[in-house]
């Protein structure tokens, strides 16, 4: 059974979420402070963290930064309605998704299930190599081949590495800094020309309509996202 950790100072909401996720065979623990949440994460294994931005003491952003020093677990953040600054800040700091309060419980459960499924899919045991299959696109990490609409391509190293990195983080908004440091393995110096050039070449090879990409989507002002709908 999957288990999630809720870090939120609203105790009644924590209890409600805990009860609601049981319908999806998901167990939940909860803590009401960031520090307590960090201790809990070190004590047992979880498949996802729900994290509120507004908490006394260590807030959600500080807690997020500490979690990301030790774990790549999917993190869904709660933000206040129309607080776009918090959404962008959370995504830049490593959150995988966000939901504004108040929210619909069915939507929250759907997002939890989706994030856990994606995390499980792309975090196989060591030595397990799995082809990534999407709508019209297949990526073979072991052979380093890409198949688009039954046509197999052998991409240049950086194109393949960037595509694979984005695909492994399907649905997650990736900043240009994250992409550069993970694909080029070097310090990001705020020069986006390399990233933009590689993505442009990828779109010409993979997309039926490069100006309206199906796979790697541009998120204005932040970076890119591999379409979670494919």
pLDDT in tens, the chain (230 residues): 899 999 999 999 999 999 999 999 999 999 999 999 999 999 999 999 999 998 988 999 999 989 988 887 888 999 876 666 777 777 777 787 888 888 999 999 998 988 887 776 556 554 455 789 899 999 998 888 999 988 898 887 788 989 999 998 898 889 888 898 888 877 787 777 788 888 998 999 999 899 999 999 999 888 999 998 88
Q: Which two tokens stand for residue 103?
A: 């929210």
How far is Cα 191 from Cα 212, in angstroms, rounded to an integer? 24
Check residue 7 and give its pLDDT: 97
11-21 vs 105-122: helix axis angle to the nearest 10? 60
What is the dihedral sign for C-alpha 83, 86, 87, 88?
A: positive
How far is Cα 186 from Cα 73, in angstroms, rounded to an integer? 24
**Sheet-wide strand order for 151-153:** 132-134, 137-140, 145-148, 151-153
The answer to whether the CB of 86 falls within 8 A of the CB of 64 is no
Check residue 93 and give its pLDDT: 76
Check residue 83 and give its pLDDT: 64
Check residue 124 and give its pLDDT: 55
Q: Who's near 193: CB < 8 A, 6+ residues apart? A: none
pTM of the model: 0.59
Q: Which two tokens stand for residue 84?
A: 């776009």
Check residue 108 and give its pLDDT: 94
């Amino acid at each position: 059974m999957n288990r999630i950790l809720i870090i939120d100072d609203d105790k009644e909401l924590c209890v409600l979420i805990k009860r609601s996720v049981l319908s999806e065979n998901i167990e939940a623990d909860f803590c009401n402070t960031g520090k307590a949440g960090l201790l809990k994460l070190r004590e047992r294994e979880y498949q996802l963290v729900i994290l509120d931005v507004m908490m006394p003491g260590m807030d959600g952003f500080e807690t997020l930064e500490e979690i990301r020093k030790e774990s790549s677990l999917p993190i869904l953040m709660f933000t206040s309605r129309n607080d776009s600054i918090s959404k962008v800040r959370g995504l830049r700091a490593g959150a995988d998704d966000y939901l504004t309060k108040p929210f619909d419980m069915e939507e929250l459960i759907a997002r939890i299930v989706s994030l856990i499924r994606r995390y499980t899919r792309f975090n196989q045991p060591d030595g397990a190599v799995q082809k990534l299959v999407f709508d019209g696109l297949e990526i073979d990490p072991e052979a380093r081949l890409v198949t688009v609409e039954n046509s197999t391509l052998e991409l240049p190293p950086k194109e393949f590495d960037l595509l694979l990195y984005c695909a492994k983080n399907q649905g997650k908004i990736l900043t240009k800094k994250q992409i550069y440091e993970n694909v080029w393995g070097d310090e990001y110096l705020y020069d986006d020309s390399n990233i933009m050039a590689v993505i442009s070449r990828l779109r010409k090879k993979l997309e039926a309509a490069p100006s309206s990409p199906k796979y790697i989507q541009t998120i204005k002002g932040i970076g890119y996202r591999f379409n979670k709908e494919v």
